[in-house]
């Protein structure tokens, strides 16, 4: 049931191969070492990733255009939002282990900061061109 890893190359379909789109939602997984819970990894890729790939940039853009937060307050806000999303994913994906929720929290927090940085570069580039 959970056999997809969202890879783009058929030759590299191992469990350690993920493409760039996967790491936009789960950036902390790029440095993860040690044993991995295959059930949780498959659940992240099949159930959580498709929802969060659209939700996380929306949160960043909505916060940027409406709240006018500074650097440190945006880190706190993204941490708060990441905590809320991790708790929601606990019930959405029926997660029982606290380590999975904590891993999702750090992944979402890093992803929100990464999205904010990417949008800052993108809009800065557009402001120079236009």
Is residue 41 in some structural domain? no
pLDDT tens string, the chain, 130 residues long: the values are: 445 555 444 444 554 557 888 888 999 988 877 677 888 888 888 899 999 999 999 999 999 899 888 889 999 999 999 999 999 999 988 888 899 999 999 999 999 999 999 999 999 999 998 8
User: How many separate domains does the chain show?
Assistant: 1
Q: Is residue 98 assigned to a domain?
A: yes
Question: Residue 93 sits in which domain range?
Answer: 47-129
Q: Is residue 3 part of a domain?
A: no
Whether 13 is in a domain gets the answer no
Does the residue 116 lie in any domain? Answer: yes
Residue 10 lies in a domain: no
Query: Is residue 17, in this structure, part of any structural domain at all?
Result: no
| Domain annotation covers residue 32 | no
Contacts of 123 (CB under 8 A, 6+ apart): none
- DSSP result, 35-49: ---HHHHHHIIIIIH
Query: Alpha-carbon distance 49 to 65, whole Å?
Result: 24
pTM above 0.85, yes or no: no
């Amino acid at each position: 049931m959970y056999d997809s890893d969202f890879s783009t190359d058929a030759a590299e379909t191992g469990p350690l191969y993920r493409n760039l789109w996967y790491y936009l939602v789960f950036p902390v997984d790029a440095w993860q070492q040690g044993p991995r819970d295959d059930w949780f990894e498959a659940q992240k890729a099949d159930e959580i990733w498709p929802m969060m790939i659209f939700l996380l940039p929306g949160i960043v853009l909505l916060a940027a255009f409406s709240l006018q937060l500074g650097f440190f307050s945006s880190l706190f806000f993204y941490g708060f939002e990441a905590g809320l999303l991790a708790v929601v994913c606990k019930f959405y994906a029926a997660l029982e282990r606290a380590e999975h929720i904590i891993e999702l929290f750090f992944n979402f927090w890093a992803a929100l900061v990464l999205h904010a940085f990417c949008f800052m570069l993108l809009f800065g580039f557009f402001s120079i061109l236009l």
